[in-house]
Structure 1
Amino acid sequence: MTRRRRLPYNLDGYRAAARRSLPKAIFDFVDGGAGDEWTMRENRAAFERHAFMPSVLRDVSECSLTTVVGNREMASPIMLAPAGLAGMIHPEGERAQVLAARRHGVIAITSSASTYSFEELTEAVPDHLPWFQLYPYKDRGFYGEMVSRAATAGFTGLCLTVDASAPGKRERDLANHLSVRPLRVTWGNVAGAARHPLWLAGLLRERRLVARMSTEALGQRRPPLRSLLRSAGDSAANLVELLPRQATWDDLEWLRETWSGPLAVKGIANPEDAKHAARLGVDAIVVSNHGGRQLDGMPSTLDLLPRVRDAVDDRVDLILDGGVRRGADIVKALCLGARACMIGRPWVYGLAVAGLPGVSGVLKILEEEMATTMALLGVRDVTQLGDSQLA
């Protein structure tokens, strides 16, 4: 009789277990930030600067976490952020992401650098379809084909990432000789992989991501985006060569005209940018500094959130991205104007530890912590959260 693996009881535990499960270079790729990682640390520190003000003698025998983002109801205000190359972390990769989202009734946003094809992911969850993340590519024809293919595959929403016009200087990756643009994962920069036999066995078994992600290495499996990448070569890593150095508002305006479903913009921090995006008709703004992975020295997203909230005045749904590690963090973000929070690193930690059960375990912890926090605040419904619950 095999003993069931005991999963961590908080997200710090998942992070520690992920560190043990992955080669150093791969863990650092997930965990690291840009420059001195000041912004990444500030994302966490901001939550500690806010304290709760509870109300007592309230009936909180039942607490509802249900919310609506982009006209879609979710069982809790948690969204799974796009995380590229998740198959490098665990062979279940992005498939575990969308399956966990279905299990918990939340929205997953699939990265355009997914190690599973569009169709593989939507076919896995036809009754709970994810959103699709994309960048403003240089080639408008390629861009349009990506959007068309996402629609045909069944993705129900789009999330445009706008803060990646240049790669952040991620010094952990430099120290580990891990190149991301284009991707280079070699035996040299995952030295010590033999000390992580489960990770290595999964990578070799699935063969979704080895060395340069060539079609030869992937064998008979159809690589993600293959039909769209012929002009750029057969390496999915070459996708980054199509990225612009500078995205413009024209890209967003064109996308709004092209895509009729929910449209979110991820990477807005400036209130004036938020106003412009709202005028162009986006459905959601993701207040994000890319988890501290792009421009180091930016304020925390939690500190930026009230300024963006005041700028758009309920015209769009606000989603906070960055630094969430507790259900209480999500409650604080909702008090300051967010409709939901995205988690990126946390679900990837869960993936590294246990695949789908790990991603689901991370969501379960956050849901339970949210419900406990709300009960202790004297609040029955997430829609009742506001400034009055903060000291």
Structure 2
Amino acid sequence: MNSKVESIDLEVIRADLLKKVNLLRKRKYPFAPINDLAEQNGISSSNGYDSLLKKIQQITKGDVVTILTNFRKALTPEVVKHCLYANKAISIYKLPDDMNLNDLEKSLSTLTSNCSIDDKYYSIEDEDKVEKDFIARFQPDDDMSIFVYHDQRSYVFRSKEESANVIDSFNNELDPLDENQEVLELIKVIKVTIPAFDFVVLDKKLKILVIGFDLAYVFPKAMINKALDQLENKIKKIKGLEHLNRLNFRNAIENMENETDGVVFGHAFCSSGGTFNHLGKTSSKRADVRKDSFFTKGSTGEILDYYGIRKRYNTGKRDCAVTVALSYREYKASALTPIYIAVLDYMQEANDLRHCCKKLLDNS
């Protein structure tokens, strides 16, 4: 291969890797699995995302093209998987029994003809020119179609300034006449803008439509509600979907609490008459808060009114989490407040999504 062409190809691969690793960092993807992938493909172990990104930029030893190409090949499916399934806030719509689901699938297929997510969507080059539209369709099996909607969102986090030079520069700007002033610590408020990957899912097996919001735990509830409403309005323009109604998950909370399948690792409830409010949770993967001695003793003889639950279900390959909850303020306003949004976490494939949705259907 011509050395100039090879150099161009290498820089394209390098840039794509940097883009995808940085996206996973912004999506708060755990670093350890990415570090393992990098090691398996010839990049030495790193102690964090910054270190790995620097190594990708500066790597010169060995067959660099092969190392970066193989890492990119291994990383890309993880990126797609995380964008498609990780941490989604969803609403479910039961479809009428007399609806022709094959015809509906054809109508939805007009949203996009792409069968993969183009690499350009994994970063934001110009915030004013972000394509907000359906960008890809995935068909993991004959009964499920996933239509990916591309958007952009921003979140803010706080970080301590570690550079002594930066802190010194602020001290240099202080009033020289006041010797008692000194900047000891600086807290940075950082805005992060990332591409978001919402979805619309048709599951012909369960006869449902699902609308999902990407990265539910990163963004505020008001933003989730607004985005899901906007996506719902887009879908309602399709023939046959004008009168969609969201499934109310309110009854699912108590039913999931009483259901033997799965592990409850968080729940919220009030005791008889609302005199006692309790939020129980565990960080253990195996512990079930329903079996906690504090809960079993305290709940004896009480009629409990549950208003939130987090539960793990084994989908065959992994444990996925389903969260249905009111805030305490919402619950106090009315215990009958409907819940139209559930959060699904730790999913990695279509079967996980279907399993979690079926649990919500069965318990609602």
Higher strand share: 2
Normalising by structure 1, report the TM-score. Answer: 0.22
Larger RCO of the pair (alpha carbons < 8 Å, separation 6+): 1
TM-score (norm 2): 0.24
**Which structure shows the higher helix fraction?**
1
Q: Which has the larger radius of gyration?
A: 2
